[in-house]
């Protein structure tokens, strides 16, 4: 049977597939909107259908190319039902070349454009530039100015038909600079903006499990569903964990034993130091809070040394071990607290249980997102014994002025438990994520399902 593009591209994208008159194409979506799949099919089709036109695929950071857009382009070849033998596919440098014409898909990070520009064959000028995860160009780069420079770099040598495709999931904040850029671009005659979500995609392409995952979030947190799955800029609540409530407060089952206990630790000198403990309940697929340690030198008038904190932590671990009979503790500590980490290693060498130290992963935005998901789907709970954590959940918020400027910056005040809990959720994420509804954005690092 002869393949038709309509068999592999959703209806919303069909009018632009062969339209060479549109110079700027902005594709936004929620989860599983298939924009990445479309861009891959379009790029692959470009190099096999136009013997005088190649493609450049850019991300802000070069190290993210191979696992994302490079793999997606290879999938696009399969979707077009073209034999890979007709291509020369290399990883270093990352290139996909159609043997018949010598047309190529080049992959580069924005900071490596000059290197890419130097290897492009002048006989096959760049006809298509694809910018993936466009938010990175605004968050980590120069935004609109950088995009203009990229256009100027690759439009040279073209007499017509040059196009740029921009891909991103809209930020939650309507004031984000990329959202303002998009509205500005929409006014141009040479630009089109198409927004999709999973409801625009045939169910058989996505699978019922994915649809069910979206519906679960819609029931649990309609606002988060509208942002994650529908791709709407729903606005940012000043209160970061607005979904936290009475249902997340429960005392752990004293009869339940935990083989592993995870602890997040945030260290301060004048500020508070806290250790927040959680049990890994693989049977119930829960991550319940068990206990907390909290000391503030400022509030108490006595600042403890790192060695004193290490001794206090050992007492805290002993109590937890006696209560829950676990074999091992995993401790995810504030990555800046090197001195305390060394004291903890020294103090925990000869215990009857194992203590494994890990540097906490300190990506604030990603960590907050994961804690939110753990709360939305009732995986994470807080014990009444974690009274400082409970208080901070009710007060932890974004700086209002930062929201107005298009950024989300948490207020650095009474946030020590929040940092510790973010560290521990990030540390246990490889376990926790399997207890949440399927999230293609999390699983595939923005490689979308067709």
DSSP characters for 290-304? EEEEEEEHHHHS-PP
Query: What is the number of alpha carbons within 13 Å of residue 435 lying toward its C-beta?
Result: 23
| Residue ranges in 258-415 assigned as alpha helix (H) | 297-300, 306-324, 338-347, 364-376, 387-393, 400-404
What span, in angstroms and rounded, lies between the C-alpha atoms of 259 and 280?
8
How far out from the chain centre does Cα 53 lie? 33
Q: How would residue 450 be classed by pLDDT, with cut points 50, 70 and 90?
A: very low
pLDDT in the model for residue 440: 65
User: Which pLDDT does position 114 carry in this prediction?
Assistant: 64
Check pLDDT > 70 for residue 120: no
Q: What single DSSP character describes residue 171?
A: P
Identify the band that residue 207 occupies on the pLDDT scale cut at 50, 70 and 90.
very high
Q: Phi, psi at residue 246, to the nearest 5°?
A: -60, -30
The percent of residues in the chain predicted with pLDDT above 90, rounded, is 78
pLDDT confidence band for 244 (50 / 70 / 90) = very high
In the numeric block, the tokens 């209560």 are attached to 323
Give 5-15 pLDDT, tens digit per residue. Answer: 999 999 999 99
**Cα angle, residue 224 at apex, residues 186 and 39 outer, rounded to 5°:** 45
Structural domains for the chain: 15-201 (3.40.50.300), 246-436 (3.30.420.280)
Could you tell me which of 274, 259, 276 has the C-alpha nearest to residue 321? 259
Q: Indicate the pTM of the whole model.
A: 0.85
Q: How confident is the model at residue 285 (pLDDT cuts 50, 70, 90)?
A: very high
The confidence score (pLDDT) of residue 445 equals 43
Band (68; pLDDT cuts 50, 70, 90): confident
- Tens of pLDDT, residues 381-399: 999 999 999 999 999 999 9
- Per-residue pLDDT, 447: 35
Confidence check: pLDDT of 118 > 70: no
pLDDT in tens, 330-379: 999 999 999 999 999 999 998 999 999 998 999 999 999 999 999 999 99
**Per-residue pLDDT for 252 more than 90?**
no
Residues 6+ apart with CB under 8 A from 279: 252, 256, 258, 260, 261, 262, 287, 288, 290, 324, 326
Dist. CA 324–CA 341, nearest whole Å? 24
d(CA 397, CA 409): 9
Torsion sign (Cα): 103, 105, 110, 112 = negative
Helix (H) or strand (E) segment spanning residue 263: strand 260-266
In this structure, how many other beta carbons lie within 10 angstroms of the beta carbon of residue 56?
24
CA gap 175, 184 in Å, rounded: 13
The confidence score (pLDDT) of residue 116 equals 60
Residue 252, token pair as written in the block = 């752990």
Query: CA 19 to CA 160: how far, in whole Å?
Result: 12
pLDDT for res 441 = 62
Region 284-305 average pLDDT: 90
Question: Which pLDDT score, from 0 to 100, does residue 287 have?
Answer: 97
Mean residue pLDDT across the chain: 91
């Amino acid at each position: 049977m002869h393949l038709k593009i309509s068999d592999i591209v959703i209806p919303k994208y069909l009018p632009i597939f062969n339209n060479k008159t549109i110079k700027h194409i902005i594709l936004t979506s929620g989860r599983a909107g298939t924009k990445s799949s479309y861009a891959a099919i379009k790029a692959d089709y470009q190099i096999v259908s136009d013997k005088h036109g190649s493609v450049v695929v850019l991300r802000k950071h070069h190290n993210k190319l191979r696992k994302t857009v490079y793999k997606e382009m290879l999938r696009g070849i399969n979707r077009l039902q073209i034999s890979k033998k007709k291509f020369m596919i290399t990883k270093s440098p990352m290139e996909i070349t159609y043997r018949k014409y010598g047309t190529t898909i080049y992959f580069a990070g924005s900071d490596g454009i000059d290197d890419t520009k130097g290897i492009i064959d002048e006989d096959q000028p760049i006809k298509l530039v694809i910018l993936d995860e466009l938010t990175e160009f605004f968050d980590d780069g120069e935004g609109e100015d950088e995009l203009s420079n990229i256009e100027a770099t690759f439009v040279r040598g073209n007499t017509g038909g040059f196009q740029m495709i921009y891909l991103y999931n809209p930020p939650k904040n309507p004031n984000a600079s990329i959202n303002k850029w998009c509205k500005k671009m929409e006014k141009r005659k040479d630009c089109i903006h198409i927004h999709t979500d999973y409801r625009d995609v045939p169910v058989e392409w996505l699978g019922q499990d994915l649809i069910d995952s979206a519906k679960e979030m819609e029931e649990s947190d309609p606002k988060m569903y509208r942002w994650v799955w529908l791709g709407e800029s729903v606005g940012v609540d000043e209160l970061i964990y607005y979904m936290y409530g009475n249902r997340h407060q429960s005392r752990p089952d004293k009869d339940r034993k935990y083989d592993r206990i995870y602890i997040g630790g945030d260290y301060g000198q004048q500020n508070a130091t806290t250790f927040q403990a959680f049990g890994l309940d693989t049977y119930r697929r829960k991550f319940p809070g068990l206990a907390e340690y909290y000391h503030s030198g400022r509030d108490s008038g006595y600042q403890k040394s790192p060695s004193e904190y290490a001794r206090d932590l050992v007492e805290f671990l002993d109590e937890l071990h006696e209560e829950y009979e676990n074999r091992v503790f995993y401790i995810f500590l504030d990555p800046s607290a090197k001195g305390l980490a060394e004291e903890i290693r020294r103090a925990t060498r000869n215990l009857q249980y194992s203590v494994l130290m890990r540097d906490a992963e300190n990506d604030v935005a990603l960590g907050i997102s994961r804690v939110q998901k753990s709360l939305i789907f009732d995986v994470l709970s807080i014990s009444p014994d974690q009274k400082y954590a409970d208080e901070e959940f009710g007060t932890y918020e974004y700086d209002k002025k930062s929201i107005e400027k298009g950024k989300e910056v948490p207020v650095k005040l009474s946030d020590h438990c929040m940092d510790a809990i973010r560290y521990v959720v990030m540390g246990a994420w490889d376990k926790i994520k399997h207890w949440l509804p399927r999230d293609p954005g999390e699983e595939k690092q923005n490689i979308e399902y067709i």
